[in-house]
Structure 1
Amino acid sequence: MMRTMLTLALFASAAPAAALAAPNTAQFSNFVYSGSDPSDAVRAAPDQYRNPILQGFYPDPSVVRVGKDFYLVNSTFAWFPGLPIHHSTDLVHWEQIGNALDRPGMLDFKRLGLSRAVFAPAITHHDGLFYILNTCVDCGGNFLITAKDPKGPWSDPVWLPEVGGIDASLFFDEGEGGDGRAWIVNNDNPPGQPEYQGHRAIWIQEYDPKAQKTIGPRSVLLDKGVNPAAKPIWPEGPHILKKDGWYYLVAAEGGTAEGHSQVVLRGKSVTGPYVPYKDNPILTQRGLPKDRPLPITSAGHADLVDTPDGKWWATFLAVRPYGDDLYNTGRETFLLPVEWKDGWPVILENGQTIPYVKTAPKLPALKTAPTSGPFTAKETFAGPELPKGWMTMRIPTARWWSVKGGILSVEARKDRLGGNEQPSVWARRQQHMNATVSTTVRFEPKADGDKAGLAAIQNDAFYWFVGLVRDGGKTLVRVEKRTGAGDPADGVVVAEKPVSLAKGQGLNLRINVKGGGLDFAYGTAPGQWETLKADADGASLSTKVAGGFVGTMLGVYAHGAEQ
């Protein structure tokens, strides 16, 4: 199994796994994730694919083609390792091959909230080199990283202080009529004072790839949006593409909630002027009936790519709510074909719903683990590293975990979930509306406050936990929650029972997600479960309630009250 290659040299001074103090080490085994969705009832024919193509917390997709291969990168905000790199040969089947941010020394997320740090990345390729432009919000600003191989290693960040705002992308003016120059486009404040909340502009500036710095003046390509009189909000995620002598500026508009959309403009010069398409937006789900079955909403932030057979496709983000704008899975990556109409790219005609199944590109497919539809993923912890899709909160400064022989050993450290710290958490994405995650934990809590178990995390202020705890000198199996900043950081007790385990005996733990509901169970023998709490309010993990831009992560957590 492919593994996350965190730079172990930076952890050389950390204690090896065998040296972790036994009372403060939790051991996890047999981690199983399984999920399905109501939309699975929509059958896909052999020549069709299923949306979303990357389920779960995979927002802000950016895609590039190099020959017959496609590479895609997503936002990860303050989770680490960040900026996952996926590879595909057909735009449908994707395999994660690396993380562009995989070294603790590259960035410093400090104590930022989980929806800060690395926003929308943009990937491109030129002259044998891959480029990712990205923004570290509240932790440095815009930066560029490069790699000869998309698997990595990626370079240390090159900071671009002249580029303000967010959502920067890089365009090389090649092909017919091109002069080979490189340009950065991004979202930033307008030239004067903003006239209203969400008033932003799209800017352009030349970039010198050899000197790795911007040159010349910045200029505005789009102020407010395609219809300024309507006071559009948040033009962002801009990309420039070139086709048939035209330069196309493609950008999101309307914010990332239900008003999200994608618009396009074109011009004869890379620096404009750009004229908007008369039938914008070219993608949106706003204005559709709220009671439509199996809704997909909040679509936008698209990136367009051509295929070797001359077709065009768009990756974009959208969400799948289980209630009124309630979704726990975060913003996901979708795929639709692009139709060129009178020289304009159209992803979806206004008024049409995003389909769950669609005819697939006629391209050779990778054989890889599923990233959409119903599936089960079993992690055996064979080691020496975790799967590439597993992440921890913020950036570790020491190696407090090990993976070997079927065991994930996690040091129960003082940093805690709920404290905007770097707790002993490793987790994977919730990728389905209905999902089950289970594991076996071996842990001997010695001091009051020691705990280890499973956690469902939206952010520091909104999480659920089930596991072993020590309280009042007793060992308990307990469900805890934090459903707002007003709750104690250590969580509120929801349910608990005393539990007696023989030395070295494991406790089986399970979280069952049913849309906006959560069930918590435990067991001391295989296949025998006792419900500790049923029908808990899982809507507290939705973006609508918890806020932010991330999705729910399901994984393991250990905390030691004393060290």
Structure 2
Amino acid sequence: MAGDYPDPSVAKIGNTYWASATSSNWFPAYPMMKSEDLVHWETAGFVFEKKPDWADFYFWAPEVAPEKGKVYIYYTAHKKDGNLCVGVASANKPEGPYRDHGPLICQPDGSIDGFPMRDETGKLYLIWKEDGNSVGKPTPIWAQPLNEERTALTGSKQELFRNDSPWEANLVEGVSIIRHGDYFYALYAAAGCCGHACTYGTGVARAKSLLGPWEKYKQNPILTADPMWKCPGHGTPIEKDGRHYFLYHAYSQQGGVFVGRQVLLREFRFTDNGWIDFESTAKPMASMPGNITYDFNDDNLPKAWNWSVFRQPVTHLRKGQLQINAQPDKFGDYIGHRTTSPNYTAQTTILTEKQEALAGLAIIGDDDNAIGISLQGTQLYVWKLEKGKEQSLGKAQIEAASRVKLLIKVQNGSSLSFSYSTDGTTFKPIGERSIDGSYLPPWDRALRVGLTAKGPNSRVALFDDFTLNSGH
């Protein structure tokens, strides 16, 4: 699943497979994606179109858990005036709507990566990680009974295992458990999850009882970097046609942090000596369209678009045009689209006749980091925002035209160049030929290419289309 989909989870509901993934500080939170074959996926909805009342950001690690006609999503989010917590939401069908039940566990150092599991007697438990690595402490994996309503933990917590092997470095996390034969098997991630210097890998532990004692495989890690993918981990096992697969994330060696952690599917088997053995290569992902075009003729914004968890834009679709209401601060309001390759072009058509705001096209890391090109009237600007501070990279007075096309070309994920066209065919460069965008990605997520609107709140930016052309 090409693009930025960290910490994926998958479950079979009826005859369909449903998956979700971390959205972090992009919104809507937790895409709900469906597939008939575990290879071809489409987004059918989201868990949260608006934030739960108790949480403010870092929407991580959803776990899809259907049971008894309901769908539960265990998720991590940052509590207002607090730390990271594991919460739960539920729905009658996987595409929603979801009802939030609030946080289940909020430890002082943070609680993340919730996973539900029944023990050998059928008793329901919540498994999670205490986020000790955030304050230089070990990272125990806990289990505690959970009531059948999924609204509260009961009893007391018990540690299953923690980071005590050299390869695990400062953490273990992302535990998912499958029962097979005499054992519960815990697939888990360890070491550094994210960024250029990531060291993530996947290990396995086993126990005959859910509460242990747990034994780690002496040949861990069982998934590590290969020539195509690096830092593999944090996924969920799934069975299909009697065969077992692991849906997990990794960075491509080519796209790296700029494209983000992408979803892979890898088959595994249970060995004669009671452990797990992975196939040597991941299944090839379904081919992605090289060209994606939006003409904005729908009534609603397509599900592929995201925005900041901190600032939801006001958008309208009318007569094949997208209108974004402007905001005066930073680079304005915006919507963003995932990229699937480190080499791509993005293009949009600005309608200037009713143009009131600075309308633009940008590569976006977050609210404080972006590089883009914007048009107001006949004035064109190339700009850079780094840590909230804006810098001009070029400007030009262009000839008047009712429609102006803006184009960004990206190479190797971080080399950016800009051009424009007033006749729809001939593009003229503006600004530096190679602008360095290597600083843009936040530590835990990938870039978006987006449409921007900056100016007084009463003004709007109008877009006629958007095209993303990805080279793979």
**Distance of 1:199 and 1:303 partners within structure 2:** 23
Q: 1:267 to 1:406 in 2, by over 3 A?
A: same
Secondary structure at the residue paired with 1:215? coil
Q: 1:105 to 1:251 in 2, by over 3 A?
A: closer
Q: Which amino acid aligns with 1:263?
A: G
Alignment map for 1:130-209 (pairs within 5 Å): 130-139=71-80, 141-161=85-105, 164-173=110-119, 178-189=120-131, 197=136, 199-209=138-148
Look up the match of 1:480.
383
Q: Which whole-Å deviations, capped at 9, do the CAs of 1:205-244 have from their partners, x for residues lacking one?
A: 110122621101011111224x2x6662220111121111
Look up the match of 2:244.
312
Look up the match of 2:218.
278
Alignment map for 1:350-369 (pairs within 5 Å): 354=281, 357=284
Secondary structure at the residue paired with 2:257? coil
Higher fraction of strand: 2
**Distance of 2:222 and 2:440 partners within structure 1:** 28
Given that residues 3 and 259 in structure 2 are in contact (C-alpha distance below 8 angstroms), is that contact kept between their aligned partners in structure 1?
Answer: yes
Match of 1:381 among 296, 301, 304: 296
Given that residues 106 and 157 in structure 1 are in contact (C-alpha distance below 8 angstroms), is that contact kept between their aligned partners in structure 2?
Answer: no
Shift of 1:452: 1.3
Alignment map for 1:160-559 (pairs within 5 Å): 160-161=104-105, 164-173=110-119, 178-189=120-131, 197=136, 199-210=138-149, 212-225=151-164, 227=165, 232-257=169-194, 258-285=198-225, 295-307=228-240, 309-322=241-254, 327-342=257-272, 343-348=274-279, 354=281, 357=284, 372-394=287-309, 396=311, 400-417=314-331, 423-443=332-352, 450-469=357-376, 475-482=378-385, 484-485=386-387, 488=389, 491-502=390-401, 505-515=402-412, 516-533=414-431, 535-541=433-439, 543=441, 547-559=442-454
Look up the match of 2:455.
560
**Distance of 1:388 and 1:169 partners within structure 2:** 27
Given that residues 330 and 367 in structure 2 are in contact (C-alpha distance below 8 angstroms), is that contact kept between their aligned partners in structure 1?
Answer: no
Given that residues 284 and 348 in structure 1 are in contact (C-alpha distance below 8 angstroms), is that contact kept between their aligned partners in structure 2?
Answer: no
Given that residues 445 and 451 in structure 1 are in contact (C-alpha distance below 8 angstroms), is that contact kept between their aligned partners in structure 2?
Answer: no
Q: 1:542 to 1:337 in 2, by over 3 A?
A: farther
**Distance of 1:408 and 1:240 partners within structure 2:** 45
Given that residues 362 and 449 in structure 2 are in contact (C-alpha distance below 8 angstroms), is that contact kept between their aligned partners in structure 1?
Answer: yes
Shift of 1:317: 0.9
Secondary structure at the residue paired with 1:328? helix
C-alpha RMSD of matched pairs (Å): 2.6
Given that residues 283 and 346 in structure 1 are in contact (C-alpha distance below 8 angstroms), is that contact kept between their aligned partners in structure 2?
Answer: no
Aligned residues: 448
**Distance of 1:395 and 1:153 partners within structure 2:** 22
The higher-RCO structure (CA 8 Å, 6+ apart) is 1
Q: Which amino acid aligns with 2:242?
A: G
Shift of 1:356: 7.2
**Distance of 2:361 and 2:437 partners within structure 1:** 18
Look up the match of 1:23.
none
**Distance of 1:92 and 1:195 partners within structure 2:** 35
Shift of 1:281: 1.1
**Distance of 2:282 and 2:168 partners within structure 1:** 30
Look up the match of 1:51.
none
**Distance of 2:407 and 2:134 partners within structure 1:** 51
Q: 1:195 to 1:62 in 2, by over 3 A?
A: closer
Q: 1:195 to 1:61 in 2, by over 3 A?
A: closer
Shift of 1:201: 1.2
1:63 maps to 2:10: yes
Given that residues 248 and 266 in structure 1 are in contact (C-alpha distance below 8 angstroms), is that contact kept between their aligned partners in structure 2?
Answer: yes
Q: 1:103 to 1:68 in 2, by over 3 A?
A: same
Q: Which whole-Å deviations, capped at 9, do the CAs of 1:108-157 have from their partners, x for residues lacking one?
A: 53xxxxxx521111111111111111111254622100111111101124
Shift of 1:413: 2.1
Secondary structure at the residue paired with 1:402? strand
Match of 1:80 among 7, 22, 27: 27
Structure 2-normalised TM-score?
A: 0.87
**Distance of 1:458 and 1:121 partners within structure 2:** 22
Shift of 1:104: 4.8
Secondary structure at the residue paired with 1:213? coil
Q: Which amino acid aligns with 1:268?
A: K
Given that residues 363 and 371 in structure 2 are in contact (C-alpha distance below 8 angstroms), is that contact kept between their aligned partners in structure 1?
Answer: yes
**Distance of 1:337 and 1:230 partners within structure 2:** 23
Secondary structure at the residue paired with 2:438? helix
Given that residues 418 and 431 in structure 2 are in contact (C-alpha distance below 8 angstroms), is that contact kept between their aligned partners in structure 1?
Answer: yes
Q: 1:390 to 1:157 in 2, by over 3 A?
A: farther
Q: Which amino acid aligns with 2:299?
A: P
**Distance of 1:143 and 1:85 partners within structure 2:** 17
Shift of 1:316: 1.0
Secondary structure at the residue paired with 2:6? coil
Identity of aligned residues (%): 25
Q: Which amino acid aligns with 2:153?
A: T
Look up the match of 1:38.
none
**Distance of 1:539 and 1:332 partners within structure 2:** 20
Match of 1:122 among 38, 63, 81: 63
Structure 1-normalised TM-score?
A: 0.74
Secondary structure at the residue paired with 1:150? coil
Gaps of at least 5 residues in structure 1 are 1-53, 110-115, 359-370, 418-422
Q: Which amino acid aligns with 2:204?
A: V
**Distance of 1:195 and 1:431 partners within structure 2:** 30
Q: 1:205 to 1:443 in 2, by over 3 A?
A: farther
Given that residues 113 and 174 in structure 2 are in contact (C-alpha distance below 8 angstroms), is that contact kept between their aligned partners in structure 1?
Answer: yes
- Which has the higher mean CA deviation after the structures are superposed, 232-241 or 399-408? 399-408
Q: Which whole-Å deviations, capped at 9, do the CAs of 1:221-280 have from their partners, x for residues lacking one?
A: 11224x2x6662220111121111311111101121431011111111111111111211
